């Protein structure tokens, strides 16, 4: 009988694991509390880079993933806006002396307040996807291969006679499986109350999606922007192939709500971001805003993902804490977790740097449990 794996969390990481496991003939159930890609996986930039992680432990994961993104776009059904990009860096804002004529490059849709100072990536090294559409496409491909998507809230797990993970508790019901994978993004910290997992932190980011039309060239911009108050922000601008443009900025450490559906922008943050966008581009200033949103990215204490076996609990795996590179690194993470579960070891990527056992398990005795945890 086929192995049955229960994946907790329907973000880009859970959907990618589901795709690669079902590609290996594994039976998969993805359990998602709210809706597929409802969190960061549906609200992030979707920017991909081949070599921006070079020199760090993420280099091989990022390079493998960048190549897998191109392969998936060429082989799977569907269009999730994958395309190669040129990527620029610049400075902008309301300080004296900003004059676009001093820039090294011209981007026609930006205002005179932006100086484009450098090229950060070429079409061979930077690309993008629409992250919600990519997550949906991966889940759909997994479903074509037999995966099931179940809407439900995971609140715990249970063990077999030998102490190994034997399933998860979903809305009070015991759902049995041969292995479980925690892929709940920042909410993976909830699983640290029932499994020996390191802490996962959450950092909030705000974003806007504009209906800018398809005339904007395929070029991303990473910008340093000084607000009227003097505060420096680092907005990222990504025009997309579907005629929208995504802009994110303004991080905050607002606490993560236990319910993903309760995530909302901080008071005033969207207004600040809109003011910034009006300054950055007359095209943004005159375009309808389709979405005003916020989301949390998951981070481990050392900034590296947690990908591998949960220490001391057979049949339990975790894949989270991808921080700012979760969309980029989802495919190679999915592939590696599938290898770990099916073959007993990952061979496309060395997972040593991402071993969850490298960090101490969260001491949950002092945690205050939120009312609806």
* Binding of residue 73 to ligand FAD (CB under 6 A): no
Q: At closest approach, how far in Å is the CB of 161 from ligand FAD?
A: 26
β 173-176/306-309 pair status: unpaired
Binding residues for ligand FAD, rule CB under 6 A, total 42
Residues 256-275 binding ligand FAD (CB under 6 A) are 260
Binding mask 272-301 for ligand FAD (x = CB under 6 A): -----------------------x-xx---
Give the torsion sign (CA, 305, 310, 311, 315).
negative
> Could you say which of 320, 334, 336, 337 contacts ligand FAD (CB under 6 A)?
320
Residue 136's H or E segment, with its range, is helix 131-144
The reply on whether position 69 binds ligand FAD by CB under 6 A is: no
Judged by CB under 6 A, the residue of 9, 121, 198, 239 near ligand FAD is 9
H helices of 12-130, in order, are: 12-23, 40-43, 59-75
Q: How far apart are CA 368 and CA 129, in angstroms?
A: 38
CA of 152: how far to CAs of 30, 168, 210, 299, in Å?
10, 11, 32, 24
Among 23, 24, 34, 76, interactor with ligand FAD by CB under 6 A: 34
**Residue 305 sits in the site that holds ligand FAD (CB under 6 A):** no
Structure tokens at 289: 């805003």
Contact call for residue 29 and ligand FAD (CB under 6 A): no
| Alpha-carbon torsion, ordered 194, 195, 197, 199, to 10 deg | 0
Measured CA to CA, the distance from residue 131 to residue 129 in angstroms comes to 6
* Window 197-216: residues binding ligand FAD (CB under 6 A): 205, 207
Q: Are strands 114-121 and 154-159 parallel, antiparallel or unpaired?
A: unpaired
CA atoms within 13 A on the CB side of 46: 29
Q: Which is nearer to ligand FAD, 99 or 171 (CB)?
A: 171
Phi and psi angles of residue 147, each rounded to the nearest 5 degrees, phi first: -70, 155
Q: Should residue 168 be labelled a site residue for ligand FAD when binding is judged by CB under 6 A?
A: no
**Rounded Cα–Cα distance for residues 62 and 239 (Å):** 22
Q: Which of residues 84-143 bind ligand FAD (CB under 6 A)?
A: none
Which 340-369 residues touch ligand FAD, going by CB under 6 A? none
What is the distance between the alpha carbons of residues 21 and 178, in angstroms, rounded to a whole number? 13
For ligand FAD, the closer of residues 98 and 181 by Cβ is 181
Q: Which of 183, 307, 318, 338 binds ligand FAD (CB under 6 A)?
A: 183
Q: Which residues contact 74 (CB under 8 A, 6 or more apart)?
A: none
> Which one of residues 11, 167, 239, 331 is an interface residue with ligand FAD (CB under 6 A)?
11
Is residue 28 a contact residue for ligand FAD (CB under 6 A)? no
Single residue of 18, 180, 273, 327 touching ligand FAD by CB under 6 A: 327
72, two tokens: 């998936």
Residues 22, 29, 41, 281: which binds ligand FAD (CB under 6 A)? 41
Shortest separation between residue 61's beta carbon and ligand FAD, angstroms = 11
Residue 247 found at the interface with ligand FAD (CB under 6 A): no
Residues at the site binding ligand FAD, with contacts judged by CB under 6 A:
8-14, 31-34, 38-41, 44-47, 153-154, 183-187, 190, 205, 207, 248, 260, 295, 297-298, 320, 322-328
């Amino acid at each position: 009988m086929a192995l049955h794996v229960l994946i907790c969390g329907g973000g880009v990481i859970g959907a990618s694991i589901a795709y690669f496991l079902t590609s290996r003939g594994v039976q998969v159930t993805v359990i998602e509390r709210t809706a597929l890609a409802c969190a960061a996986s549906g609200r992030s930039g979707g920017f991909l880079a081949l070599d921006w992680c070079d020199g760090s432990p993420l280099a091989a994961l990022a390079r493998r993933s960048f190549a897998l993104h191109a392969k998936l776009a060429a082989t799977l059904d569907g269009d999730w806006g994958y395309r190669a990009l040129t990527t620029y860096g610049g400075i902008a804002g309301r300080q004296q002396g900003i004059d676009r004529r001093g820039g090294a490059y011209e981007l026609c849709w930006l205002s005179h307040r932006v100086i484009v100072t450098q090229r950060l990536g070429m079409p061979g090294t930077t690309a993008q996807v629409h992250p919600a559409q990519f997550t949906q496409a991966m889940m759909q491909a997994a479903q074509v291969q037999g995966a099931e998507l179940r809407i439900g809230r995971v609140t715990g797990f249970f063990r077999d006679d030998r102490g190994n993970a034997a399933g998860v508790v979903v809305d009070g019901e015991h759902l049995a499986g041969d292995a479980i994978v925690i892929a709940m993004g920042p909410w993976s910290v909830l699983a640290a109350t029932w499994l020996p997992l390191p802490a996962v932190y959450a950092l909030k980011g705000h974003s806007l999606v504009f209906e800018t039309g398809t005339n904007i060239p395929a070029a991303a911009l990473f910008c340093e922007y000084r607000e009227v108050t003097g505060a420096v922000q680092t907005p990222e601008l990504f025009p997309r192939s579907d005629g929208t443009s995504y802009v994110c900025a303004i991080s905050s450490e607002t606490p993560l709500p236990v319910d993903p559906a309760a995530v909302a922008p901080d008071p005033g943050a969207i207004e600040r971001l809109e003011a910034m966008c009006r300054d950055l581009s007359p095209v943004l200033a005159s375009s309808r805003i389709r979405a005003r949103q916020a989301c949390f990215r998951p981070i481990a204490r050392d900034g590296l993902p947690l990908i591998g076996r949960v220490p001391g609990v057979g049949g339990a795996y975790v894949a989270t804490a991808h921080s700012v590179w979760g969309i980029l690194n989802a495919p190679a993470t999915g592939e590696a977790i599938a290898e770990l579960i099916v073959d007993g070891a990952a061979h496309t990527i060395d997972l040593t740097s991402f071993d969850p056992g490298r960090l101490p398990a969260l001491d949950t005795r002092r945690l205050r449990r939120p009312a609806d945890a």
